[in-house]
Structure 1
Amino acid sequence: MGLSGVFDDRSLRTKIGAAAMTATVSGLIVGAVAISTVYDLNDHAAAVQRQSIAVQSAVGSFGRNIEAYVGGVSAVQLYPAIAKDIQAGMAVNQKAVETALADLKSALPGDAVVAKSEEDWAAFLDQLAVDVRGASPAELAKALDDYNTLHTALSDDQEALKEQTTAVVEARIVEAETSGRHAAYLVAGLLLVGMVLSLLIGFQVAGRVRETVRSVGRIAEGLAEGDLTRTSGVRSQDEIGRMAASLDQGMARLRDDIVHLAGSVGTLQDSAGRLSSVSGSVSAAATEASSQAGTVALAADAVSSNLQIVSAGSQEMGSAIRDISVSTSEATEVAAQAVRVAAETNAIVARLGSSSEEIFTVVKVITSIAEQTNLLALNATIEAARAGEVGKGFAVVAGEVKDLAQETAKATEDISQRVQAIQADTSGAVIAIGEISEIIERINGLQLTIASAVEEQTATTQEMNRTLTEAANGAGDIAATIGSVSSAARRTTETVGETRSAADDLSATAAQLQTVVSRFRY
């Protein structure tokens, strides 16, 4: 996709702004690079200057403190009285030399001259640490020769460090000049690229806009000439492209409308003729509808009257059913009460049977006592007979007791028979009461069924009354509606004449539209 394709769907503001933004951004980039380069060059020059000063200072400190340290060595020999003070100064000089070497190693890392200077200084300190007291003249001569050699080497190291410092500074200056030239080339290149991009985008945007405007202009010229077959052919999505697309859609819609209008004009003319013909038929039909509506209105009034009579009868039937419902409810309550009374009676009779059993038990006890009394009376009579005259009175009493025991036995036998009869009657009464309870319960169930049916009939009657009332009202509404239909039919008859006149006007309008459509080429 070319550069023009990138901007086809962008807005005009974006396209125009792209060229301006490209120039602006390129200017900002060039300015930023130039400013950054200036700052880098300044920083580089400052760093070179700081490094040069630091190296020169370290080299100077290295030489001065070595000479001071060597002078201290001689002074200790010459002025032993102040040897401690001199040695303290020598320690300071030694520390300063070591600091200078550390600064040189930091400023010139890996430099051979600095490394050699550090080795020579260490060897010089080792040489001074050798104790030559008691040494032979040859050993003293050798020690002095080594001392002079190391001292000369340190002096040479100072000169070498100075030369190295000069070389480093010159190298940094050359490096700064090279960086400046590269920065100038970079700024010029960026400026050239920005100018080319700005011009390229500007020409591309102008060309695309001009081409799009010409395409839209051709459609406008065709529309002025009545030619609806032209299209813009523009596919971009910017403001002009969207305008061209909308214009194409509008032309297509207008072309379709003209085609449809051309087809509809003939149809409209035919329809106007048929409308005029149909108007007469509608007028006759409306007159007939008005007549039939009057007949239907009379029939609807009769239906409404009959429905009102039926509704009144249904309401009376509903009142009778409500009375039946009340009576059925009372009968249900009476049946339920009868069931409760029968249950209570059955319980009482059951208790009566239990009491009869208890009486029968007591009678058995009395019978047993009477039999024993009879036996005692018989024994007493026998004993009285044995006693003779003395026992005659006792025999009389024993006979009376015997008679009383026999009468008691007879009475208890009669009571037993009566109690047994009561028990038999009680059992029959219990069975009869149970049957009565079952019958009453069945009656109660039937009463509940009747009550439920009466309630359903009541609801049905109420629904029937409501339906009949609505039907009567609906019949009245039908009569009123039929009246409205009759009035509408009369108004329709009056409107048909106006419709026929409108049909004539419509035919004239169709002819005018046909003339307008013939002017377009589609």
Structure 2
Amino acid sequence: MRTFGYIFTRWISSMNPIFELRERVAPFFVAFLWLHVPVIAGLGFFFEDWLWPTVGASVLAGAATISWKFSGGEATTRYLIAVAQMGMVAVILYQFMGNAWQVDIHMYFFAALAMLAAFCDWRTIFVAAATVALHHLVLNYALPLAIFPNGTDLARVILHAGIVILETVTLMWITAKLTSAFSEAAEAIERAKSAERESQELAEQQRETERRANEDRQKTLSELAEVFEQDVGNLVEAVRARASQMNDHAETMNLVSMEARNRSDSTAQRAEEVRGNTQTVASATEEMSSSISGIVEQVAHSSRITGDAVNRVEQTNETMQGLANAADKIGEVTSLISDIAEQTNLLALNATIEAARAGDAGKGFAVVASEVKNLASQTAKATEEITGQINQMQHVTKDAVEAIQKIRETIGEINEVANSVSSSIDEQSGAVSEISSNTNRIADGTQLVTNEITELSGAADKADETSKQTVDAAKELVEQIDQLKGEVLNFAKHVRTA
């Protein structure tokens, strides 16, 4: 039955190679001790004294065996083996008592002592050396012939003791170094195993951390993709709706600008007719002035001319009234264009704000929104210029109407003068001069109106071109928003599968 000490020693030996070595060496020494029993018995038969030496050898071997069975390679077993080893040599030395080889048998003490170094235990060496010393000292006085052939010899005892001490010290130093080396090796192995275990634990923790991180990352990316797709998708849809609305307004503005251009062309044509009529009046007035010397003879003819002049002035007055009405309508159109430009500017500003909220993803249509805003601003500015020009045209038209009214009054006076032309030739001449002057002023005013309307037509053309550009930009913005929506969906899909 194994003792607790033996079990503990076996457990320690599994952790420390020095204990494992001692556990393995112990049975070899036990077997080696039992080999001495037949050898001693054989020597006993040879020297005719076999009983007591054989019994003594058996007792020594049996004691070591029992200790080994119960304690394994513990210190008790090692010490008993050391004593039994030296005892076996002492028994053999006793058997050679009186023989010439007795002195040579002493060498076996040195060999047996050196063999015990296999335990790598300096204490075992010390116990064996102490056993040899005790054996020599006791028998040197109790039974001297059992040690040396010539009996008591203290000098030899001291010599052998010195040699044993020298060997013992050397063996103890060697075994101590071996024990230290084994301990350091065991500690290094244990540290290596501990480091390996820690490395495995760290690797397992790293794998677990990576697995959790991958799960968290996948979950986070999936949630981010859903939020991104929902928020940005709603934003893109809102911007697309605004862009479509802006496109509709731009097309409406384009139609309005085309209508304004057509009306300005019509107004210019009418102004040209007024200018032609005014030139006709001027020519008639010049003819009247050139024939002033024969006005008496041409009174009747002058009356007819005066009647025609009245009719033409009435027509001119109606024409100028139509021009004033057209100018008012053009003013209404320019006001409508200005309102549309302001709405476009607000829509572009809203698109710019929405693009800023979208961050880098909205830079594409942010540029387009900025361009639309610039075009709307240019349209508003051009509309303001057109409005100013229309106001000037209305002012000139008012002057022309007043001038035509004066012409009408003057022609009435001419008609009255024609009835009394013979008595007021000089007054008739002055009236004709005044008619000529007023007619020239009317012609100049009509020319100015024509020029203003021409500029208005150019502004209308520019507004038409700007509205077309706005329509194109709005369509391009819608296309880019659709493309952005596709990119958002692809990005969200890529994030989910990442």
Please tell me the TM-score bracket, short chain as reference: under 0.3
Task: Please identify the structure whose Cα radius of gyration is greater.
Answer: 1
TM-score, normalised by the number of residues in structure 2: 0.26
